[in-house]
Amino acid sequence: MTKRILLIVGGGIAAYKCLELVRRARDKGIAVRCVMTAAAQQFVTPLSFGSLTNDTVYTDLFSLNDEAEIGHIRLSREADLAVIAPATADLLAKLANGVADSLAGAVLLATDKPVLAAPAMNPRMWSHPATKRNVAQLAADGVRFVGPNSGEMAESGEAGEGRMAEPAEILAAIEDMISGPKPLAGKRVLITSGPTHEPIDPVRYIANRSSGKQGHAIAAAAAAAGAEVTLVSGPVTIPDPAGVTVVPVETARQMLAAVEETLPADIAICAAAVADWRPDTEGAQKMKKDGTSAAPGLTLVENPDILRTLAQHHTLRPAIVVGFAAETETVIDHAKAKLARKGCDLIVANDVSHSTGVMGGDRNSVHLVTPDGVESWEDMDKTEVARRLVAHVAANLEGHHKKKAAKPRRKGPKKTTTKSSR
């Protein structure tokens, strides 16, 4: 069923960012209905929000038309979530004190749905004891907050805490609040992502073309599924996913150390393109060419296999261990061999030949290879691969726990039951 949010737009310069928020929410299939305060209309017009939401924009508590058509009580209850953005100091004060002298105030007082606030104000206003009191009261009342962030203010170049969270962050909080039950709540998920860099000397290294997009998307999807996620990432240029603990590393050996440090975990997904080999020594200084002698040879030694270490861990093997197989030929056969060699539960195989555009691209077409067979998915966005993979692994984890619970206990010495005298 389509999810709907009621967006209450407050009067601040950040109101313009809410146009982007509406667009992104609708892209995700979330319906948006807007209430604008009088002050908000000084910054952005109701026509802009009306065009983007494709719905009436409500502005007036005493509008005969609006009241006859929908009424502020229904307005407040027909949504799955009320979002206040920008949540100005004034709106927060009103809500904290139950003031209902405007449509926004009345709607928020009448709602029976969760409320998310994205504060935006001058840093001094945000740190004022009155605002702090109001925010503490609202948090105690169950209102959730996203932001504010630190940075430059739109007015007078002032900087500090008070910038409204970015539309993507607000949308992530919205999705988190309107999504159903979380299949990985309470579970620890460890993910490796990105390439590794194996130094030759202080300025040169061996690397590969991995962008980290697939691994990072899996981390974001696992976090959205309620897991506590640690993402051990090689050097990448993409942003850290929200709600995830990121451990940045450079080399395979550092990645292994960070992974071992993170155990125990319920699930491990190794999406990193770990360099198989590293130079056996790292030059302390930049190697120089002198124009006469031959080019230096590189002697390579094998890197530790992180996936294999996890899958064959004697004491702390995660219940589910997933590996990736980036291949350029006979993808499935290689993946099957890898599954056996590494000892993991699932290999996600993909063709990374140059012509597929998978390495560094946004799309992926994968095959899930398990001891039970092969499941091929159609070509889709990496974020969608991530979402489906996380759902698949979560279902397997549940199956794993059920199987474990059903296993008969190891036979010990026969117990004789004696009747209690109590």
The correct pick among 307, 320, 335, 397 for binding ligand C5P (CB under 6 A) is: 307
Is 274 a binding residue for ligand C5P by CB under 6 A? The answer is: yes
Task: Classify residue 68 as exposed, middle or buried by CB count within 10 Å of its CB (0-12, 13-18, 19+).
Answer: exposed
Select from 272, 311, 358, 393 the one that contacts ligand C5P (CB under 6 A).
272
Strand partners, 231: 191, 246
121 or 325: CB nearest ligand C5P: 325
CB-side exposure of 362: number of CA atoms within 13 Å? 1
Which of 103, 252, 265, 369 touches ligand C5P (CB under 6 A)? Answer: 252
Closest CB to ligand C5P among residues 270, 320 = 270
Which span sits near ligand C5P by CB under 6 A: 80-88, 97-105, 243-251, 266-274? Answer: 266-274
Point out the catalytic residue in the list 208, 303, 350, 396: 208
Closest approach of Cβ 323 to ligand C5P, in Å? 3
Q: According to DSSP H, which parts of 28-88 are helical?
A: 46-53, 64-69, 72-77
Name the one range near ligand C5P by CB under 6 A: 3-11, 242-250, 300-308, 355-363.
300-308
Return the amino acid letter for 93.
A
Q: Does the protein bind ligand C5P through residue 134 (CB under 6 A)?
A: no
Question: By rule CB under 6 A, what count of residues binds ligand C5P?
Answer: 14
- Name the residue with tokens 């992530």: 172
Q: Answer whether the bond into residue 235 is a cis peptide, omega within 30°.
A: no
Q: Is 208 a catalytic residue?
A: yes
Contact flag: residue 305 with ligand C5P (CB under 6 A) = yes
User: Torsion-angle region of residue 281: left (phi > 0), alpha (psi -120 to 50) or beta?
Assistant: beta
What residues between 366 and 385 interact with ligand C5P by CB under 6 A? none
Nearer to ligand C5P, 143 or 259 (CB): 259
Q: Which of 306, 335, 352, 358 binds ligand C5P (CB under 6 A)?
A: 306
Please return the burial class of 391, using the count of CB atoms within 10 Å of its CB with bins 0-12, 13-18 and 19+. middle
Give the one residue of 58, 126, 145, 324 binding ligand C5P; rule: CB under 6 A.
Answer: 324
Q: Cβ 197 to ligand C5P, closest distance in Å?
A: 14
Residues with Cβ within 8 Å of 391's Cβ and at least 6 positions away in sequence, in order, are: 183, 225
Binding mask 174-213 for ligand C5P (x = CB under 6 A): ------------------x---------------------
Distance CA(324)–CA(307), nearest Å, equals 9
Whether 249 and 260 have beta carbons less than 8 Å apart is answered as no
| CA-atom Rg of the chain in angstroms | 27
Instruction: Look up residue 140 and give its amino acid.
Output: A
What's the angle, vertex CA 200, arms to CA 194 and CA 201, rounded to 5? 115
Q: For ligand C5P, which residue of 270, 331, 335, 346 counts as binding (CB under 6 A)?
A: 270
Q: Which is nearer to ligand C5P, 115 or 270 (CB)?
A: 270
Query: Helix-strand-coil percent breakdown of the chain, rounded to 5?
Result: 35, 25, 40
CA distances 211 to 215, 305, 361, Å, are: 9, 20, 8
Name the residue nearer to ligand C5P (CB basis): 252 or 389: 252
Active site residues: 208
Binding site for ligand C5P (CB under 6 A): 192, 252, 270, 272, 274, 276, 303, 305-307, 323-325, 338
